Structure 1
Amino acid sequence: MNTDITYLGRVINVNSGSVEVEISKEIPSAAPIINGRLYKIGQIGTFVKFPVGNLTLFGLVSSVSNTPASIENIEYEPNYGSRFLQVQLIGEKLGNDPFEKGIGTFPTINDEVHLVTEDDLSRIYGVKSNGFIEIGKHASSENLPVYINLHNLVLRHSAILGSTGSGKSNTTANVIKRILEDNQGSRIVLVDTHGEYASAFEGKAKVFRINEKKNPLFVPFWMMSFDELSFFLVGRTEGQEKPEDKQLREKIIELKKVNCSKLKAGSVNPDYVTADSPIPFDIKQLWYDFDRELNATYNSGSDQIPANECLIEEGDPKTFKPASFTPYTTLNAVPYKSKRQTMYPYVGKIYSRIKDTRYSFMFNPSNYADADSANDLDDLLRNWIGNSERLTILDLSGVPFELIDISVGLISRFLYDSMYWGRFDDYTGRSRPLLMVYEEAHSYLPKSERTLNVYGYARKAVEKIFKEGRKFGIGAMVVTQRPSEISETILAQVGTFIALRLTNSGDKNTVQSSAPNNMNSLIELLPSLRIGEAIVVGEAINIPSRVKINLVEPRPSSNDPDLSKAWNKAFVADENDYKSVVLSIREQKVESKPKK
């Protein structure tokens, strides 16, 4: 076989991690032409093969030198060139069987080494079939498509990583489009914190936005757990339980029990209702009741019950009108001041939160406000994961920054719970898996316990999906430019990495420590990748590869502006310019127009 045109050389050293190869002196050129195609010998990241009988081993070139690493003080011929390769073994192929990752048999000294041709790679990557999607073309060949296993990509979880401007958004949009094109029963929820992806999926996705007339985004406050709601309303720290927290918990349970028999999705036994149960309740009534207890006056100093109130006028919770009472006296006489002052620190906080219009998507969710509303949580699920478009984009660009953490956590926990409790139903759970895509994940899934405005609610919910979601049919993909800032628990559960250019050494080292150990040579290429190129390693791809990602049109609105064109035009603002900008800032509406 050393007369074959693909013959490269022989094995001179083998260890558990790599194989050293001496290139034959008889090779006439460092760039032989095989079947009309030019191959460059010794390129970092290219493949070689080791025929061992009916078994073929495959490896990846990790380094090139003109002296062997395994032999010291060897004399070599001048101008002999770079004739020694370090190769990392990655997989094997027995006869006509499919390629398998991992090595069961190692090559031995003097075994032959051959170039891997495009035909060899075609047999490894195979042809497109059910359960596979094309992600792009092999970096060494524009004619060689690269396919990834959809099952492993989704249910074993994945990550798309890359510095800003490397093509990360295009890669995310490309993967989603390929899934939608080839799988008519697919379900994807994209958490889009910057509102970039609606333009790439116009007419092919259901987009929910705050203040959108057609598909407004609502995340009802009563879906929160008690820890989440009490933290957001009054700043209660998780794990603490002051007397006013106990009173708040009991009032929430009381109000939820009022509605538990009137729910449109089915009545709930009051004995099962807790402060964490996702049951609607009237939060304005909660404020009203506490305010009334706090400010009521009584005609008895000892028996302060509603019958003894010195009431002037009933209030109206719906309009935030408090009840009015005869003012108490400073003397020990009628009317007496209320003794129920426990909730004094909380009443004002609750009022200010509910009245803040930025939080209307939570506190005033049209058709989801209470048990008498038109919709229940089953309507929310049908809108998010049961719609005909199959891709749902939850545009959180209008969500106040301090609410991103809780909002993402709430969405994730709710969808996880729906897949868990519906895991045996025909229309959801294991019978119809769901992919969650988290864009800009570093901003709300940090590795540290607590950072500015991020308290770990999203991180805990998403970590649960990564750790347990596979069993219930829910997979996840994180998209980030800073993998070094992402939760280590999440990265540890990632089965497939699609890593574009990463110039930061900390980010590269994070990927290197999370990726398979024998892929170090590929990971070292990350800083030198071209825009739109990615290193794909992990469970979803047969053989780790450098891939040119397909370009998506229309593109997500994350591309750079044309600075030269913009700055070549002279501009002076007139008196009407910037009014719409200021209005958008004030109303938190990206598409606001100036009022005439």
Structure 2
Amino acid sequence: MISEAKLRANNYGKVVGIASRVSPISHGENNKEVEVEIPFENYLESRLIVDSFLGLSLLIPGTLILGRIKEVSREDLMSLSRVPALSVNEDPSSVATPLRIKVELISELIDENGVKEVVPPSSPIDPQSPVFLPNDDFVKTMLGLPIDGIEIGKVVEGYRRRENVEARISKEMLSHHILVIGTTGSGKTNLLKTIYSKSDIPLIAFDIQGDYIRTAIREGGRIVIPMSEDYAKMGIVPFLKLVFGRSSVDINIDRDLVNVDGQTLTFSSGEKKFKVTLMGFKFSKVAKDLADISTLFSPQGAYFFKLIIDNAIVDNISNWEKIEKEGKNNLHVNIHQYTLSNIERAVKIIQEMRILDLKIKLSDPGMTLQHKSIELDEPSYEELLKEKITVDLRWIMERGIDASVTAAYIIMNRIFKLKDNAYKQGKEILPYIMMFDEAHEYFPQSRKNEEGKESLERLINKIMRLGRVRGIGTILATHRPEDLNDLIITLTNSKVALRADNDALRRVDMEEYSKILEVSPPGFGIIRTFAYRAHNVFLRSDKFD
């Protein structure tokens, strides 16, 4: 019996000890820990530490279990023999005692009629069951780690990375959404950049700090920049010099510009080419969106604003008085003066955002087109669905919350509608990722007066509720999960916790790890996901160069 158990163990690693002979071994629903013993000579060779993995080969059930070391214990020979110490003399020989270990049970490999399956641990653990150091393949199998997907780092044991045991994000995990929490400097942005870089799935990253500009350039992606009037007046070349300068990237426009196609410029940077698309919003195309986005409209104001738009020829927002007059005449209904005042006040404030109906001076490297101006429009969203996109919101955010919310909302909504139409038409559903770093900035924050973000919050809620069957997965990263609503917390079925305080961990039900994560180094964290067999897996993320 013991020989057979050792043989099974040796197929998956190296035997180093046995389940305890001197302590009862019991485990159940509320207790997943058992005690094992490692002979001194094996202890010297194995360098076991807390959180190392161990395997158990059960004598009678004939199954295999993966566990994690939770506690280690060492005793001198005098302590074991319960002999009172008559002196404090050193005796190295009395240190050669077994290492006692408490092991947290993680998963069990059963074999039912030749079919192997990993299940939660449930079999009785027999005394003297061989304990073994598991090999990498056994660890991967027992943790249920995906074979395919985006590699984000390595599984760790204590402070040591298992270099051949990769932590991956599978497509299934992406479709059920992911939340990353961590303080400033914990490695959130590094993790998202790694995903951006390694993903073979098209994605869009909404960037409010310029953190992903270098990443987009390195990966040959596209940078989309929603413009405001202030920067459009500068002209393309001066503005892009400002963009690249603030982003600390070595791009020389005269040297690196390859092509100008309207409002999209292609640059060559090293081995890859990347694109920059300057975009604007035409009032004629986004007017109805504005009624849904802006909290400036009353419910009646939004309703009649849309009716006016439907019954008039809509062009530049500067012609609003003409548009309003034509729309009202064609409606043949009386609109209450209070409602009209609400509409006019909302339109005036929208005009003051200065993000609609923009023109920009176009220049090529030789400046032969320097006096030509083009109207900025929205890009082809069908093309964006095929690429890696960074939306640089820094510039439009300078016009205020309403301006940045408007830009982010329209872009997200256009993409969602394309995916929604494909789903409803029965077309092939291709995966797509939406990434939100500093995700709390997209939601109304309790400590600020930010009602303007409510429409954006509703849209993100909608995308996360309906996105899975439409191929949209979202990744949100924040150091303030308390600013995310309960639905977001519920819908993110995979969570990665990096260094974080107790309040943030409590928000995602991971406060049990606060003592570890409050002082953990950058990139060290815990991933909790339905897609792994283990409830929580420690990892160290790869460093993005």
Structure 2-normalised TM-score? Answer: 0.68
Q: Residues of 2 paired with 1:524 and 1:454: CA distance?
A: 37
Q: Relative to 1, partners in 2 of residues 1:492 and 1:452: Cα closer, same or farther, differing over 3 Å?
A: same
Displacement after TM superposition at 1:394 (Å): 0.8
Q: Does 1:359 align with 2:354?
A: yes
Structure 1 residues 289 and 220, CA gap change in structure 2 (3 angstroms): closer
Distance 1:201 1:230, change over 3 A: closer
Q: Counterpart of 2:31?
A: 18
Shift of 1:111: 6.9
CA contact (8 A) 1:157 1:476 kept: yes
Which of the pair is proportionally richer in strand? 2
In the TM superposition, 1:237-252 aligns within 5 A as: 237=298, 240-241=299-300, 247-252=304-309
Would the aligned equivalents of 1:138 and 1:545 in 2 still touch at CA under 8 Å? yes
Q: Does the CA-based 8 Å contact 2:43-2:98 persist in structure 1?
A: no
Match of 1:547 in 2: 539
Is 2:213 aligned against 1:198?
yes
Taking the aligned partners of 1:447 and 1:76, their CA distance within structure 2 comes to 61
Which amino acid is 1:397 matched to? Answer: R
Work out the percentage of aligned pairs sharing the same amino acid: 15
Q: Which of 51, 55, 58 does residue 57 from structure 2 map onto? A: 51
Match of 1:396 in 2: 393
Output one character per residue of 1:492-527: Cα deviation in whole Å (capped at 9) or x when no partner. 11122222111x2110112325xxxxxx76675322
- 1:7 maps to 17
Distance (Å, rounded) in 2 between the aligned partners of 1:63 and 1:228: 59
What is residue 323 of structure 1 aligned with on the other side?
none
RMSD of aligned alpha carbons: 4.2
The 3-state SS of whatever aligns with 2:55 is strand
**Higher normalized helix content (fraction of residues):** 2
Moved more, 148-157 or 219-228: 219-228
Residue 479 of structure 1 and its aligned partner are, at CA, apart by 1.3
What residue number does 1:533 align with?
524
1:511 and 2:527 matched: no
Paired residue for 2:89? none
Could you report, residue by residue, the CA deviation over 1:222-273 in whole angstroms, capped at 9, with x for unpaired residues?
Answer: 66585842763x8124xx32xx555433212213xx5xxxxxxxxxxxxxxx
Amino acid at match of 1:6: V
Unaligned 5+ runs, structure 1: 68-74, 259-279, 295-304, 307-338, 367-372, 514-519, 554-596
Does the 8 A contact of 1:32 with 1:39 survive in 2? yes
Name the TM-score, length of structure 1 as normaliser.
0.63
Matched residue SS, 1:421:
helix
Q: Partners in 2 of 1:134 and 1:173 — Cα distance? A: 12
When residues 349 and 128 of structure 1 are mapped into structure 2, their CA distance, relative to the original with a 3 A threshold, is: closer
Aligned partner of residue 431 in structure 1, secondary structure: coil
Q: Which residue of 2 aligns with 1:269?
A: none
Q: CA offsets per residue over residues 299-337 of structure 1, 9 Å max, x none?
A: xxxxxx99xxxxxxxxxxxxxxxxxxxxxxxxxxxxxxx
2: distance between equivalents of 1:449 and 1:365? 37
Give the C-alpha shift of residue 450 in structure 1.
8.6
Question: In 1, are the aligned partners of 2:282 and 2:377 still within 8 Å (CA)?
Answer: no
Partner of 1:462: 460
| Count of aligned pairs | 441
**Matched residue type, 2:106:** L
Q: Which amino acid aligns with 1:250?
A: L
| SS of residue paired to 2:54 | strand
1:116/1:16 Cα in 2 relative to 1: closer, same or farther (>3 Å)?
farther
Q: Is contact 1:65-1:84 (8 Å) kept?
A: yes
Residues 39-95 of structure 1: CA deviation (Å, up to 9, x unaligned)? 324x0x33333323442222334456799xxxxxxx989998984526153454649
Asked if the contact 1:162–1:501 (Cα under 8 Å) also holds between the matched residues in 2, the reply is yes
Q: Are the aligned partners of 2:216 and 2:389 in contact in 1 as well (CA < 8 Å)?
A: no
Equivalent residues of 1:220, 1:365 under 8 A apart = no
| Alignment match of 2:39 (pick from 27, 36, 42) | 27
Q: Quick one: which of 126, 129, 135 aligns to 1:112?
A: 129
- Match of residue 291, structure 2, among 222, 226, 229: 229
Counting only pairs closer than 5 Å after superposition, residues 114-513 of structure 1 correspond to structure 2 as 114-119=131-136, 120-121=138-139, 124=142, 131-139=148-156, 140-179=160-199, 183=200, 186-203=201-218, 204-211=220-227, 214=265, 215-220=277-282, 226=288, 228-229=290-291, 232=294, 235-237=296-298, 240-241=299-300, 247-255=304-312, 258=313, 282-290=316-324, 343-344=340-341, 346-347=343-344, 349-354=346-351, 356=352, 358-360=353-355, 362-364=356-358, 380-386=380-386, 390-400=387-397, 401-403=400-402, 404-423=404-423, 430-446=428-444, 451-502=449-500, 504-512=501-509
Inter-CA distance 281–190: structure 2 relative to 1 (3 Å threshold): same
Q: State the shift of 1:392 in Å.
A: 0.7
Q: Is the contact between residue 430 and residue 473 of structure 1 (CA under 8 Å) also seen in structure 2?
A: no
Change (3 A) 1:99 1:208: farther
Cα 1:446–1:376 change in 2 (3 A) is closer
Take 1:525 and 1:491, find their aligned partners in 2: how far apart are those partners?
Answer: 22
- Cα deviation 1:330-355 (Å, max 9, x = unaligned): xxxxxxxxx9786345435523532x
Q: Tell me if the contact between 1:190 and 1:436 (Cα under 8 Å) persists in the aligned partners.
A: yes
Distance 2:481 2:110 in 1: 34
SS in 2 for 1:547: strand
Amino acid at match of 2:421: W
1:472 and 1:345 map into 2 onto residues whose CA distance is 37
Deviation at 1:148, TM superposition (A): 1.7
Residues 123 and 433 of structure 1, relative CA distance in 2, 3 Å threshold: closer
2:230 maps to what in 1? none
Q: Which runs of 5+ in 2 are unaligned?
A: 7-13, 76-80, 85-94, 228-239, 241-262, 266-276, 331-335, 361-373
Deviation digits for residues 368-421 of structure 1 (CA, Å, limit 9, x no counterpart): xxxxx99987x52134223xxx20111111123413334333332321221111
> CA 1:375 to 1:485, structure 2 compared with 1: closer, same or farther past 3 Å?
closer
